[in-house]
Amino acid sequence: MAVDGFTRGVVLVEILGISDPQILIAYGLCIVLTLACIVYGLLYRNAGND
Amino acid sequence: MAVDTVTLSAITLVYILITLGLGYLGWKRTKSTEDYLVAGRSTHPVIIALSYGSTFISTSAIVGFGGMAANLGMGLIWLTVFNIGIGILLAFVIFGKRTRAIGQRLSAFTFPDLMGKIYQSHLLQYISGFIIVVSMPLYTAAILIGGARFLEPTLNISYSTALLIFALIVALYVVYGGLIAVMYTDAFQGAIMLVGMTVFLILTYVYLGGVTVANRALGAMTDLVPPALASQGMTGWTSMPVLGSPIWFTLITTLVLGVGIGVLAQPQLVVRFMTAKDDKTLNRALSVGGPFILMMTGVAFTVGALTNVWFLQSSGKIAVDAAGGNVDAVIPLYVNQAMPPLFVIIFMLTLLAAAMSTLSSLYHSMGTALVCDIWGRGKECALSLRANQYGIIVMMVASLILAFFLPVNIIARATAMFMGLCAAAFLPAFAVGVYARRPSTRAALASMLAGTISWFLWTAFVHAAESKPLGLCQALFGVPALGGLPWSVVDPIVIGLPISAAVMVILQIRAIKATDDTGGAATPA
C-alpha cells in the first residue's frame, strides 16, 4: 500500500510537472481549503437562524 | 493582437450600462441611511460572497501580483492558501458571524463605528477612521493605476484619461446608490471575473501545450533566472527561494503574510459581514467565496509564472525583460500579445470589473469614515445621505490625485503596505473586541497606536523597499535603511502585528485582573 501511495504521488508529480514539494503542498492546500469552504457552507446552510 | 475597436467599444458600453443600471437599482432600493451604509442588513448570500470576493480581489491581485509571480515564480501560490484559509474560511467562520451579530446589536454602520461602539469610545472610532482616511487612498490609487495601465494601451487613450474615466464612472454609482449599489455591481463584476479568469487559465495551458508540458518548460528555465535574483535566493519559477534569503523574506513576509493576514481586518471587507441578515447567510456565502478566490488568485499566480514560458518561446526573453523591466506591465503585455482579440476584450472587462468592484467599496469605506467617523464622530452615524455622498467625492478626488504622483511598479507593494497596516493597527483590537466579554478600551487604543507607530517606523527606517523611496531615513541618518540583512527585507507586518497583539493581550489581561480585584465593579476600560 505504501508503495502504491508513493507511486501515485510520483505519478501526480509527473502529471503536474512540478517537482518542488513546497509548491505541490501549496497547490494541494488550495484545493483542500476550497473544498472545506464548500462542504462547510453546505453542511451548515440552514444553521444559525436568528 | 489588434482588438477590433468597434466590438471593444460596444461590449465595454454594454458592460458600463449594466453596471450603471445595477447602480440605479441600488439607488432605487436605498430608502434609509442603513440601506446606504450597510445595504439594509439583508443581502443575499451569493451577493455577499461575490461582493466580498470581488472587493478582496482587485487589479492589484491580478496585474500586480500576477506580475510578481512572473518575476518570483509559483511560490506566490502560498498567498492563495492564505487567501482561502484565512481570508475566506477563518474570516467568515470565526470573525464574520460575531461581527454580524455585534454589528446588528449595536447598530454599527461602519468599521470604525463598530469599533467605537464595542469599546464605547469615540476616540477609538476617531483613530480608526483617521487611519482609514489616511492609508486607504494609497491602496485606492494603486488600484486606479492597475486599471488605467491596462486601459491605456487597449483603448489607445492617454494614461491620465484612463485614470479619470475609471475614477468617475465608479464614483457615479457609489455616490448615488450607496452600499446596495456597490454590492449589486460587485456581484455582476464578480461573475465576469470568474468567467474571465477561468478562460485565462484554460487558454494559457492550451497555448503552452498542456499542464505537464507547460510546467516542465517553466521548471527547465532555471538557468535563465537573472543573476541579480539568483544571488538573492531565487532558485527557479517552479520552486521556492532559498530559505532565509532576501527573496524568501520578501515573498513570505511581504506578499504572503502581509496580504494573507492583513485581509482579516480590512474595513471594507468587515462591513460585508454586517450586511448579512443571519448566520446561515454567511454559511451559504462560504460555499461560493472559497472557489471564487481559488479561481482569482490561484489563476493569476499560476499564469503569471507561466508567462515566462510564452515570452521565451515568442521573443527569447523572460517575462519581466519582455515587459521592459516593469513587473506591473507583464500581464497586460501577455494578454495583448498572446491572447485572441475576443479574450483581450473579456480580460479587459475582467480587469475593469476587478478594479471597479474594489474601488467602489474603498470609496464607500473612505467616504463614510470621513463623514460618520471623523466629521460626525460621537453623533449618530446617520448624519445624512448627502453628507456621506460628499465624503465619498472628497476621498475619490484625493485618491485620484495620489494616483497621478505614485511611481511605477507600485501596485503590489502599495497593496501589501495597506493590508499590513490594517493588520498591525486593527487586527488584535478587532479580534478581542468581537470575542472578549469585557474588552478593554485602554488596551485597544494602546494596541492600535503601538501597531500603527511600529509599522510606520519599520516602514520608514528599516524596510529598504519603502524607506529608500520615502527618503526620511536618508535625510535623518544619512543611510537609506537602518540595519542590514535580513532586517531590511523583513516586512513591517512581521514587526507591527506582534507588537500590537502583545500590547493588546497584556493590557487586556491587566484590565480583567483589575476588574476582578474590584469584584467586577469597575468599568471595562
The string of DSSP codes covering chain A is: -HHHHHHHHHHHHHHHT---HHHHHHHHHHHHHHHHHHHHHHHTTT----
As a whole number, mean pLDDT of residues B148-163 equals 79
Report chain A's C-alpha Rg in angstroms.
16
Nearest to B402 by CA among B414, B413, B391: B414
Residues in B touching A10 (Cβ below 8 Å): none
CA B366 to chain A, closest CA, distance in angstroms equals 30
Residues in B touching A48 (Cβ below 8 Å): 97, 278-280, 282-283
The label of the residue with cell 449589486 reads B184
pLDDT in tens, B94-116: 999 999 999 999 888 889 999 99
Q: Which three cell numbers stand for residue B137?
A: 487612498
The label of the residue with cell 462560504 reads B286
> What count of Cα atoms within 13 Å lies in the side-chain half-sphere of residue B180?
22
The pLDDT confidence band at residue B332, using thresholds 50, 70 and 90, is: confident
Please tell me the distance from the alpha carbon of residue B290 to that of residue B286, in angstroms, as a whole number. Answer: 6
As a whole number, mean pLDDT of residues B501-519 equals 87
A-B contacts (CB, under 8 Å): 111
Query: Would an 8 Å CB–CB cutoff place A44 in contact with chain B?
Result: yes
Average pLDDT of chain B is: 88
Cβ of A16 within 8 Å of Cβ of B277? The answer is no
List the single range of B193-202, B295-304, B497-506, B509-518 with lowest mean pLDDT.
B509-518
As a whole number, mean pLDDT of residues B118-140 equals 91
Please tell me the distance from the alpha carbon of residue B11 to that of residue B9, in angstroms, as a whole number. Answer: 6
Q: At what angle do helices B111-118 and B411-435 cross, to 10 degrees?
A: 30
Query: Would an 8 Å CB–CB cutoff place B262 in contact with chain A?
Result: no
Please tell me the distance from the alpha carbon of residue B459 to that of residue B472, in angstroms, as a whole number. Answer: 10
Residue of B nearest to A12 (CA): B212
Cβ of A30 within 8 Å of Cβ of B80? The answer is yes
Query: Would an 8 Å CB–CB cutoff place B277 in contact with chain A?
Result: yes
Residues in A touching B303 (Cβ below 8 Å): none
Looking at per-residue pLDDT, the higher value among B475 and B306 belongs to B306
Report chain B's C-alpha Rg in angstroms.
22
What percent of chain B shows pLDDT beyond 90? 49
Q: pTM of the entire structure?
A: 0.87
- Cβ atoms < 10 Å from Cβ of B324: 9
Residues in A touching B91 (Cβ below 8 Å): none
Q: What is the pLDDT of residue B13?
A: 83
As a whole number, mean pLDDT of residues B359-385 equals 80
Interface with B, mutate which of A15, A37, A44 (most B CBs under 10 A): A37
Q: Which three cell numbers stand for residue B102?
A: 455585534
Q: What is the pLDDT of residue B67?
A: 92
Nearest to B388 by CA among B129, B178, B134: B178
Peptide bond into B486 cis (omega under 30): yes
Please tell me the distance from the alpha carbon of residue B444 to that of residue B426, in angstroms, as a whole number. Answer: 9
Q: Which three cell numbers stand for residue B167?
A: 475614477
First to last CA, chain A: 49
As a whole number, mean pLDDT of residues A14-32 equals 87
Consecutive H or E run containing B403: helix B385-405
Give the ipTM: 0.85
> What count of Cα atoms within 13 Å lies in the side-chain half-sphere of residue B396?
26
Looking at per-residue pLDDT, the higher value among B201 and B256 belongs to B201
Q: Which three cell numbers stand for residue B300?
A: 493569476
> Of how many residues is chain A composed?
50
Q: Which three cell numbers stand for residue B337?
A: 500579445
Please tell me the distance from the alpha carbon of residue B255 to that of residue B430, in angstroms, as a whole number. Answer: 22
Task: Specify whether the CB–CB gap between B261 and B86 falls below 8 A.
Answer: yes
pLDDT in tens, B225-251: 999 999 999 999 999 999 989 899 888
Cβ of B84 within 8 Å of Cβ of A15? The answer is no
Q: Which residue pairs, CB below 8 angstroms and at least 24 apart, start in B323-327? A: B323/B67, B323/B70, B326/B408, B326/B409, B327/B64, B327/B67, B327/B68, B327/B70, B327/B71, B327/B409, B327/B412
Query: Would an 8 Å CB–CB cutoff place B349 in contact with chain A?
Result: no
Residues in A touching B279 (Cβ below 8 Å): 47-50
Residue of A nearest to B92 (CA): A37
Burial of B181 (0-12, 13-18, 19+ CB in 10 A): buried
Interface with B, mutate which of A10, A18, A35, A43 (most B CBs under 10 A): A18
List the single range of B31-40, B133-142, B208-217 with lowest mean pLDDT.
B31-40
Residue A22 has its nearest CB partner, among B240, B288, B290, at B240
Cβ of A30 within 8 Å of Cβ of B77? The answer is yes
CA A32 to chain B, closest CA, distance in angstroms equals 9
List the single range of B84-93, B217-226, B251-260, B263-272 with lowest mean pLDDT.
B251-260
Burial of B350 (0-12, 13-18, 19+ CB in 10 A): buried
Nearest to B268 by CA among B366, B411, B370: B366
If phi > 0 it is left, if psi is from -120 to 50 it is alpha, else beta; for residue B266 that is beta
Residue of B nearest to A39 (CA): B287
Cβ of B89 within 8 Å of Cβ of A50? The answer is no
pLDDT in tens, B375-396: 876 566 556 778 888 889 999 9
Q: At what angle do helices B65-72 and B299-315 cross, to 10 degrees?
A: 60
Residues in A touching B243 (Cβ below 8 Å): none
Q: What is the pLDDT of residue B11?
A: 86
| CA-angle at B468, arms to B465 and B474, nearest 5° | 150
- Cβ atoms < 10 Å from Cβ of B179: 30
Residues in B touching A26 (Cβ below 8 Å): 74-75, 77-78, 80-81
Looking at per-residue pLDDT, the higher value among B43 and B156 belongs to B43
The pLDDT confidence band at residue B523, using thresholds 50, 70 and 90, is: very low
Four-residue CA torsion sign, B363, B365, B368, B373: negative
Please tell me the distance from the alpha carbon of residue B14 to that of residue B235, in angstroms, as a whole number. Answer: 46
Q: What is the pLDDT of residue B475?
A: 84
Q: CA separation (Å) from B184 to B17, B112, B201, B351, B367?
A: 14, 24, 26, 17, 19
The pLDDT confidence band at residue A11, using thresholds 50, 70 and 90, is: low
Q: CA separation (Å) from B469 to B259, B461, B492?
A: 21, 11, 16
Interface with A, mutate which of B86, B279, B283, B295 (most A CBs under 10 A): B283
Task: Specify whether the CB–CB gap between A17 and B215 falls below 8 A.
Answer: yes
B216: amino acid identity, one letter: R
Task: Specify whether the CB–CB gap between B282 and B276 falls below 8 A.
Answer: yes
Residue A33 has its nearest CB partner, among B75, B85, B97, at B85
